[in-house]
Amino acid sequence: MATGSELIGMTACTVVGHLKQGEITPLELLDAVEERIAAVDPVVNALPTLCLDRARDRARALMQRPLGERGILGGLPLPIKDLTDVASVLTTHGSPIYADNIPDSSDIVVDTIESEGGIVFGKSNVPEFGAGGNTFNEVFGATLNPWDISRSASGSSGGAAVALATGMAWVAHGNDMGGSLRNPASFCGIVGLRPSPGRVARTPGVLVDSLLGTDGPMARNIADTALFLDALCGENPLDPLSLPRLSTRFLDAAQQPRKPLRVAFSADLGITPVDPEVAAICRAAADRLAASGVDVVETHPDLSDTHEVFQTLRAFQYAASHSQKLRDFPELLKPEMVWNIRKGQKLSAAEIIDAQAKRARMIARTVAFFDTFDLLLTPATIVSAFPVGERYPTECDGQKFDTYIDWLAIAFAITLTTAPALSMPCGLTRYGMPVGLQVIARPRNEAGLLAHAAFIEELLGMTIRKPMDPKRTHRDL
């Protein structure tokens, strides 16, 4: 039997292969996870809530089934983001309002994961209600970046990204409205994929037809990300946006890397400042593609309405989802939440209609853009990891931001287009901090995205090969 350290060093695909051959058991994996969490999490605070007894009960029940009937994941342990309900497990949303909340039922996405043999062992840390790109809250505190524990892990899936980078998980669940899968992936050197809306069924919120938020997979490499997407996807009648499962596997696409023919690159999408070092690292990745024979063109679709449209639609969603909390618990919400809710409450119908119309035109222009290009490449974040004590970046490359989410525009611009997008590591700064490349494909073309991203992964060779121990560096960058 492999040791715990050997198990955590394996890829998710390798571990699932061993599970399906009966060479290891889910219980052995849970033991390895528990040991690794005890060694690492006190430093980084990524997994504040564990449910290992529940996990072991689920594992034993799964082991009563034949090996071939244990689902796509076959008993693989994983954490769920603390914005998402898991039955009988503390789910705080990072808020004092829910500090003692134990839901009776799970979100659709959790039921899907468990039906495919995923074993939930805990909850990953988040910012309050997922707001802002820095994972800290008043319930559990801050999650620290393992590359440098004085730095932010970004967010809102920051706990999930840190758990992956440090070997406390093989895959992890996340969700994304303004970059919450992609931002922490960029800061922590792992992969985070925001699928097209509907690819992963989820319990709808107040706005049942919202196209802003999606759930998606995170992992240390492209193939593991594809494996988890296979387990996540599928139709559910309770989610009216959900799409049927495809006849082919995403893992098959990822395991057959495909060289793109024509790729667009943009350092800023024409809408945001970008740290020059981050832009240079991402441009160097595009240059590597060009040197391999790919036709790389510096261009992007017209996304000039991004800030106005996203700020309006996000504020509308926040007002719809959180106004009752502001009425009942104003003193318990962080100021950024209060601002976003109140902004939404002040919107007129005309402003919402205008934003929806402009978004429709953005989607049409983006779909037409992918008639010419296989991929669009950009930085996943405009900065590398900033000090964890800063709530969010207030400026970049000499340009000050008006709001706490302006620094996320390069991610939320793509949210508005409905195109699937992932962040994958493409280089390190002069201080050794990861930089993520955002790789974007035509809406609903996750298979093509993964096949091309697998080619880029091989070309760049930046994947975390071995789970890292947190680095106790405290630089003033």
Encode pLDDT of 265-309 as tens digits.
999 999 999 999 999 999 999 999 999 999 999 999 999 999 999
For the whole model, what pTM was predicted? 0.97
- 164 exposure class (CB count in 10 Å sphere: 0-12, 13-18, 19+): buried
The whole-chain average pLDDT of the chain stands at 97
* Mean pLDDT of all residues in 360-389: 98
CA–CA distance, 100 with 85 (Å, rounded to integer) = 13
Specify the number of domains making up the chain.
Answer: 1
* Alpha-carbon torsion angle 454, 455, 459, 462, nearest 10: -10
- Going by pLDDT thresholds of 50, 70 and 90, the confidence category of residue 476 is very low
Inside any domain, residue 477: no
Which one of the listed residues 95, 156, 210, 266 is annotated catalytic? 156
How far is it, in rounded angstroms, from Cα 321 to Cα 314? 10
pLDDT digits (tens, 9 = 90+) for 381-391: 999 999 999 99
Is 441 among the domain residues? yes
Which tens digit of pLDDT belongs to each residue from 66-99? 999 999 999 999 999 999 999 999 999 999 999 9
Domain for residue 465, yes or no?
no
The pLDDT of residue 223: 98
Residue 466 in domain = no
156 a catalytic residue: yes
Separation of alpha carbons 414 and 266, rounded Å:
13
Nearest Cα to Cα of residue 225 among 263, 259, 181, 162: 181
Question: Which helix H or strand E contains 88, and what residues bound it?
Answer: none
Tell me what pLDDT residue 124 has: 99
Contact assessment for residue 122 and residue 172, using Cβ atoms and an 8 Å cutoff = no
Return the pLDDT at 4.
86
Residue 82 lies in a domain: yes
Cα separation, 364 vs 373, in Å, equals 15
Q: Any idea what the CATH number is for the domain that residue 231 is in?
A: 3.90.1300.10
Whether 469 maps to a domain, the answer reads no
Kindly report the backbone phi and psi dihedral angles of residue 378, in degrees, each rounded to the nearest multiple of 5, phi listed first.
-145, 170
The C-alpha atoms of residue 146 and residue 468 are separated, in whole angstroms, by 7
Q: Is residue 180 among the annotated active site residues?
A: yes
pLDDT band at 475; cut points 50, 70, 90? low
Rounded CA separation 427/429 (Å)? 7
Return d(Cα 168, Cα 164) in angstroms, integer. 6
Which strand (E) or helix (H) includes residue 439?
strand 434-440
**The one catalytic residue among 124, 157, 180, 242:** 180
Measured distance CA(256)–CA(455) in Å, rounded: 8
20 labelled catalytic = no
Interatomic CA distance for residues 274 and 283, integer angstroms: 12
Task: With respect to residue 233, please indicate whether it lies within any of the assigned structural domains.
Answer: yes
Q: Is 234 left (phi over 0), alpha (psi -120 to 50) or beta?
A: left
Please tell me the predicted confidence (pLDDT) of residue 259.
Answer: 98
pLDDT digits (tens, 9 = 90+) for 223-233: 999 999 999 99
Distance from C-alpha of 16 to C-alpha of 78, rounded to nearest angstrom: 12
**Angstrom distance (rounded) from CA 217 to CA 254:** 14
Q: For the chain, percent helix, then strand, then coil, each to nearest 5?
A: 40, 15, 45
Cα atoms found within 13 Å of the Cα of residue 340, Cβ hemisphere only:
26
Enclosing domain of residue 147: 4-460
Percent of the chain with pLDDT over 90: 97
Spatial distance between the Cα atoms of 394 and 375, rounded to a whole number of angstroms: 30
Q: How confident is the model at residue 34 (pLDDT cuts 50, 70, 90)?
A: very high
Contact 156, 395 (CB under 8 A): no
Asked whether residue 474 carries a pLDDT value surpassing 80, the answer given is: no
194 residue type, one letter:
R
DSSP alpha helix (H) spans, 21-115: 26-44, 52-62, 108-115
Answer yes or no: are the C-beta atoms of 252 and 454 closer than 8 Å.
no
The arithmetic mean of pLDDT across residues 419-448, rounded, is: 98
Residue 477 has pLDDT above 70, yes or no: no
The residue from 81, 123, 325, 358 that is catalytic is 81
Position 2 pLDDT exceeds 90: no
Q: Other CB atoms closer than 10 Å to residue 336's CB: what's the count?
A: 18
How is 145-212 classified by DSSP, letter by letter? -TT-TTBB--SSSHHHHHHHHTTS-SEEEEEESSSTTHHHHHHHTSEEEEPPTTSB-----SSTT--S
Question: Are the CB atoms for 411 and 183 separated by under 8 Å?
Answer: yes
First-to-final CA distance of the chain? 44
CA–CA–CA angle 306, 440, 17 (5° rounding): 140
Max CA distance (Å), the chain = 64
Whether residue 345 lies inside any domain: the answer is: yes
